[in-house]
């Protein structure tokens, strides 16, 4: 007995953790700073941490009440009906739910490249196809409806990431509206706003609800997460916001109790912890500005909690940084072999990342990079 043919599927490459790198190099984990996975440098919402401790003794029960309470809290935050919130086990779970609700065998999704690999992976898991549209480096990875429509060929779902990972660009609401207008009624435009709290932009929920001068649409959905600004990545808590017409589909495609008791209780506490989110966003903006101003390399403007940096050889530079205690994301897996993605850290972490990166780049420019055991081959 063997599993079905999985030759079209590839493993997702996550950012490497401190413990993993420390074991590999035979060093103490305290020697490293991790700026590879766009995690919150301030940790989880303090209110969420308290809720987790207080809820620990109740995890023997299914999270029915907590699940409903969190759905209501999210709906209130965005001014939508409870039934429009599809709570999930992380943003990845919400991607799966949307694909389950939408894709028939043979349907396709259209995803950005470079971009988040799981959109296409999930589509293939659900017996769909994955096609791509390009965000062009020559245009600084600008996101426009025209750029997407050039590649559109009747796909059932079009994925837009705003802010985009790994480039940090956003797509204006007017462009998202045009994209929805110029694709067929049976095509769903999904806007992944995992980094939405860090951007000075209105949420695409305005298009679903008909706010800010836009007409209400039934062909736009929004993805959000508690992983980034709220610091709950380890709890795996995300959600989709869908049109009213989609409400009943959730009960037919979700897993029973889509998020754990601890995750729901933490989310309930975190969603009202505005102080933690504001501090996190301010830290990210300061860090972005510092890296844009002071890194001795081209840095693309970003509205996420990370920046994309052109270092010439991502593998060589990321390995040299790792040797010096700074773990960043090699973007070769995104199809950008000359770029690094550096997460916005605390002031101290950002300072270390800037100084160390500049030192590595200077060494390489002077031809001394090989003393670190790193070559371009």
- Alpha-carbon dihedral angle through residues 301, 332, 95, 264, given to the nearest 10 degrees: -70
**What residue ranges of the chain are covered by domains with CATH 3.90.1150.10?**
18-44+274-372
Average pLDDT for 78-100:
96
Q: What is the pLDDT of residue 22?
A: 67
Q: What is the pLDDT of residue 13?
A: 66
- Determine the Cα–Cα distance for residues 170 and 112; give it in Å rounded to an integer: 12
What is the three-class DSSP state of 217?
coil
Cα–Cα distances in angstroms (integers) from residue 142 to residues 97, 111, 167, 196, in the given order: 28, 15, 9, 17
Average pLDDT for 343-371:
89
23-57 pLDDT tens trace: 877 787 787 899 999 999 999 999 999 999 999 99
Average pLDDT for 123-143:
96
Q: What is the mean pLDDT of the chain?
A: 93
- Domain 18-44+274-372 in this protein, CATH class: alpha beta
* Percent of the chain topping pLDDT 90: 83
* Numbers of helices and strands, H then E, in the chain: 13, 12
Residue with tokens 């850290």: 345
> Are 214 and 205 spatial neighbours (Cβ–Cβ below 8 Å)?
no
Question: For residue 179, what are its two tokens?
Answer: 């994209």
Average pLDDT for 340-354:
98
Least confident of 12-16, 101-105, 176-180: 12-16
Residue 375 has pLDDT above 70, yes or no: no
Residue 129 phi/psi, 5° resolution?
Answer: -115, 160
Residue 149 has pLDDT above 80, yes or no: yes
Q: What is the pLDDT of residue 247?
A: 83
- What b-and-e string marks burial along 36-54, b requiring 16 or more CB atoms within 10 Å of the CB? bbbbbbeebbebbbebbee
Q: What is the DSSP letter of 197?
A: G
Q: What is the pLDDT of residue 372?
A: 41
What CATH architecture is 46-270? 3-Layer(aba) Sandwich (3.40)
> Are 98 and 221 spatial neighbours (Cβ–Cβ below 8 Å)?
yes
List the one residue out of 216, 112, 245 whose CA is nearest residue 205: 216
Q: What is the pLDDT of residue 368?
A: 58
Cα–Cα distances in angstroms (integers) from residue 358 to residues 7, 17, 227, 361, 370, in the given order: 41, 23, 30, 5, 16
Split at pLDDT 50, 70, 90, the class of 137 is very high
166-182 pLDDT tens trace: 999 999 999 999 999 99
**What residue ranges of the chain are covered by domains with CATH 3.40.640.10?**
46-270
50 vs 59: which has the higher pLDDT = 50
- Determine the Cα–Cα distance for residues 75 and 142; give it in Å rounded to an integer: 31
Least confident of 95-99, 220-224, 246-250: 246-250
Residue 279 has pLDDT above 70, yes or no: yes
Q: What is the pTM of this model?
A: 0.93
376 vs 149: which has the higher pLDDT = 149
Q: What is the pLDDT of residue 347?
A: 97
């Amino acid at each position: 007995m063997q599993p079905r043919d999985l030759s079209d599927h590839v493993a997702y490459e996550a950012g490497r953790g401190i413990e993993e790198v420390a074991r590999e190099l035979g060093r103490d984990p305290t020697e490293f700073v991790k700026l590879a996975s766009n995690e919150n440098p301030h940790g989880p919402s303090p209110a969420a941490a308290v809720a987790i401790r207080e809820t620990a003794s109740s995890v023997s029960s299914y999270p029915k009440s907590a699940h409903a309470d969190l759905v209501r809290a999210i709906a209130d935050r965005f001014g939508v009906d409870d039934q429009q919130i599809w709570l999930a086990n992380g943003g990845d779970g919400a991607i799966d739910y949307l694909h389950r609700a939408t894709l028939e065998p043979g349907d396709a999704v259209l995803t950005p490249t470079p971009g988040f690999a799981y959109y296409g992976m999930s589509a293939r898991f659900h017996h769909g196809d994955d096609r791509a549209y390009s965000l062009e480096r020559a245009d600084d990875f600008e996101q426009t409806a025209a750029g997407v429509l050039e590649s559109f060929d009747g796909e059932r779902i079009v994925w837009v990431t705003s802010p985009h990972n790994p480039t940090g660009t956003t797509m204006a609401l007017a462009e998202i509206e045009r994209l929805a207008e110029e694709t067929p009624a049976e095509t769903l435009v999904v806007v992944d706003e995992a980094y939405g709290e860090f951007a000075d932009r209105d949420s695409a929920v305005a298009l679903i609800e008909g706010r800010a001068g836009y007409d209400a649409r039934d062909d736009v959905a929004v993805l959000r997460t508690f992983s980034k600004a709220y610091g709950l990545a380890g709890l795996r808590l995300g959600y989709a916001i869908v049109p009213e017409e989609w409400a009943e589909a959730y009960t037919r495609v979700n897993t029973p109790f889509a998020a754990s008791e601890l995750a729901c209780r933490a989310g309930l506490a975190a969603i009202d912890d505005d102080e933690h989110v504001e501090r996190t966003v301010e830290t990210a903006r300061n860090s972005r500005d510092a890296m844009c101003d002071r890194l001795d390399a081209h840095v693309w403007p970003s509205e996420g909690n990370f920046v994309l940096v052109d270092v010439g050889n991502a593998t060589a530079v990321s390995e040299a940084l790792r040797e010096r205690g700074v773990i960043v994301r090699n973007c070769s897996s995104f199809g950008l072999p000359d770029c690094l993605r550096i997460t916005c850290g605390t002031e101290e972490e950002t300072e270390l990342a800037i100084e160390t990166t500049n030192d590595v780049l200077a060494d390489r420019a002077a031809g001394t990079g090989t003393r670190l055991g790193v070559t371009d081959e």
